[in-house]
Structure 1
Amino acid sequence: MTFIKLLRINKISKSLRQLHNIAGKMVDKIYQTNIPTALDSAKYYLDKGDVIALPTDTVYGLACSANNEKAIQKLYAIKGRDFRKPVAICVRDIDSLRNWGKAEHIDDMLLEQLLPGPITIVIERSANLNNRFLNPSTSKIGIRIPDFDFIKNLCEKFDQPLALTSANKSAEQSSLNIHEFECLWSQLGGVFDGGQLGVTEECRSASTVIDLSIPGRYKVVREGVALKKTLSIMDNFNIKPLL
């Protein structure tokens, strides 16, 4: 065997070892959401300022600490998202929603009809949400309380709002399982696998987004998966569309 052939074989072997090591490191980032230590691992990455991927009640999402400036910048960079396009936050309950947003004009009964679930409520942000890189083009904030145990329990454990956006590159389709955004794994702190979230294309629809920042008025920002339910609730509480 010639010296040149040996060099080529060594280079191929080295490349294969490198690929194997990279694959191993990526697998190490994957956590099943049903294991007891998954929440602690997710909180660890959030405390570090990392971005993680996790399941929600609609599609897989990318999440980070909403009040961490570096984490928010990292979130936008990973997604390839325009900084002028806002992201929502995720909180654990209605009391938390009122802490991070100005919702004094919204009755608890109305909020309890809308949340938890696949609905994002847009209101003015409170002074407690003071990250200058979080939606710098608007004073408003979209707030979600997903109806999914893992992310709700994580919000309670982390005790801070999570910035939340879908787990995909900007302008690409949303993800129903972790392999659909495998190209992002290397940039994430951890990937939390809750299994397949749906099988039809309709399941890829995002949450319904409704602006309730003006007392007694609403504006549909995005139709999403729960528009019919949302409009019915608006009608029941005599909330009128903003003309």
Structure 2
Amino acid sequence: MAQYFEAHPDNPQPRLLKQAALLLQKGGIVAVPTDSSYALVCHLDDKDAVDRLRRIRQVDEKHHLTLLCRDLSELANYARVDNRQYRLLKLGTPGPYTFILEATKEVPRRVSHPSRKTIGLRVPDRKGLQLLLELHGAPLLATTLIPGGETEPLNDPQEIRERYEKLVDAIVDAGACPLEPTTVVDLTPMGTGGDPVVVREGRGSLQALGL
């Protein structure tokens, strides 16, 4: 049965998020609010947790999972970033954008795309999630909380509790968050002189990125 943490949306209680971080370090799966929608997160280096995350979300290894990072300097440890890519990343972080980049060796091969060796990365603009990342001390692997066979992410923490309390280890209830998913931009073509490719237009403004 999942633990249920009611956190203040603007001033989240560190003691609650410390408990969530401890569960993650022990291999748990936690449902958390982001600046785009609720997501499922787990420890990056825990194979069993990653496999379980995919089973709950009902996706295979070709589905891009996303690394949630605290800031751009942390992101640069897990992705190869040149000067052009970095300038664009600065425009969209923190914020509701997911950027696809070539993964470094810091990313376990099992969580990068199997053929492209890429990973989705983002720096969320949500106070509670930033605090959780800080307490965890490392990026978290995430996937949008969309039930299998459905197209819309869940936004109501009570509904998440009803549907997932036997599948996840904890739910962080910080109220509703936007229902619109992140804007996804593939930056890998920039590494060979090409232009970024918009994979999905979502909550993040393309104009803010100059696209």
Q: Flag whether TM exceeds 0.5 (same fold).
A: yes
2:6 to 32, 37, 40: 32
Q: CA deviation at 1:112?
A: 2.1
Partner of 2:132: 154
Any idea what the Cα deviations from partners look like across 1:21-55, whole Å, max 9, x if unmatched? xxxx55xx100223331221111111111110011
Contact conserved, 1:122 with 1:213, CA < 8 A, in 2?
yes
Higher relative contact order (CA 8 A, sep 6+): 2
Displacement over 4 Å in runs of 4+: none
Aligned mates of 2:111, 2:104 — CA distance in 1: 15
Deviating more after overlay: 121-130 vs 101-110 = 101-110
Q: TM-score, normalised by structure 2?
A: 0.88
Whose radius of gyration is greater, 1 or 2? 1
> Which one of the candidate residues 37, 47, 51 is aligned to 2:25?
47
Equivalent residue letter for 1:31: F
**Alignment partners' CA distance in 2, 1:114 and 1:210:** 10
1:122 is paired with a residue of what secondary structure? Answer: strand
Q: Equivalent of 2:206, from 223, 227, 230?
A: 230
Larger helix percent:
1
Q: Secondary structure at the match of 2:206?
A: helix
1:132 paired with 2:106, answer no
Structure 1 equivalent of residue 175 of structure 2 = 195
For structure 2, which runs of at least 5 residues remain unmatched after alignment? none
Matches within 5 A, 1:163-178: 163-172=141-150, 173-178=152-157
Q: Give matches, 1:89-168, under 5 Å.
A: 89-106=67-84, 108-168=86-146
Q: Secondary structure at the match of 1:102?
A: coil
Cα RMSD, aligned residues only: 1.8
Q: Deviations over 1:178-227 (max 9, x none)?
A: 12322111111111110122xxxxx422000001112251001111122x
The one-letter amino acid of 1:230's match is L
Percent identity of paired positions between Structure 1 and Structure 2 = 28
- Give the 3-state SS of the residue equivalent to 1:132 in structure 2: helix
TM-score (norm 1): 0.77
